């Protein structure tokens, strides 16, 4: 019986340790605050939105060409413009140009389609 209790305590302690480490890794991935740094649109490669909840602040997290993360206030006008710019760039990149042979097989036709987001 004593061996069972030791094993049970060890399992509980291990579970608590992993649960604590898991939360810590999530917290470090969050932006603790936003910065006033303004980025050039040409230096931004992508972004994602951070919602308040697990993370302390709502933010737009930009990734730069140098792979640096910049946490920005989503209410700032330059941030809204940059998000629109990146979205339009992504939309242009998803357009696919395909050549489809016509039904008689002699002359190719060009169709330009936009993939849904």
pLDDT in tens, 72-90: 999 999 999 999 999 998 8
Q: Are residues 62 and 22 in the same domain?
A: no
pLDDT at 17: 41
What is the CATH classification number for the domain harbouring 46?
A: 2.40.50.40
CB 50 within 8 A of CB 30: yes
Q: Are residues 11 and 38 in the same domain?
A: no
**CA pair distance 72, 81, nearest whole angstrom:** 12
- What mean pLDDT value characterizes the chain? 76
How many domains is the chain partitioned into structurally?
2
Q: Which domain holds residue 39?
A: 32-114
Q: Are residues 102 and 87 in the same domain?
A: yes
CB 74 within 8 A of CB 60: yes
**CA pair distance 20, 31, nearest whole angstrom:** 19
């Amino acid at each position: 019986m004593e061996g069972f209790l030791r094993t049970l305590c060890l399992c509980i302690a291990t579970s608590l340790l992993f649960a604590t480490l898991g939360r810590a890794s999530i917290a470090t991935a969050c932006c603790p605050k936003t910065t006033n740094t303004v980025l050039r649109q040409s230096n931004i490669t992508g972004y994602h939105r951070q919602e308040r909840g697990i993370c302390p602040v709502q933010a737009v997290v930009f990734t730069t060409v140098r792979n640096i993360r910049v946490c920005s206030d989503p209410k700032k006008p330059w941030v809204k413009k940059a998000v629109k710019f990146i979205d339009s760039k992504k939309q242009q990149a998803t357009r696919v140009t395909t050549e489809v042979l016509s039904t008689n097989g002699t002359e190719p036709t060009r169709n330009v389609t936009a993939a849904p987001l």
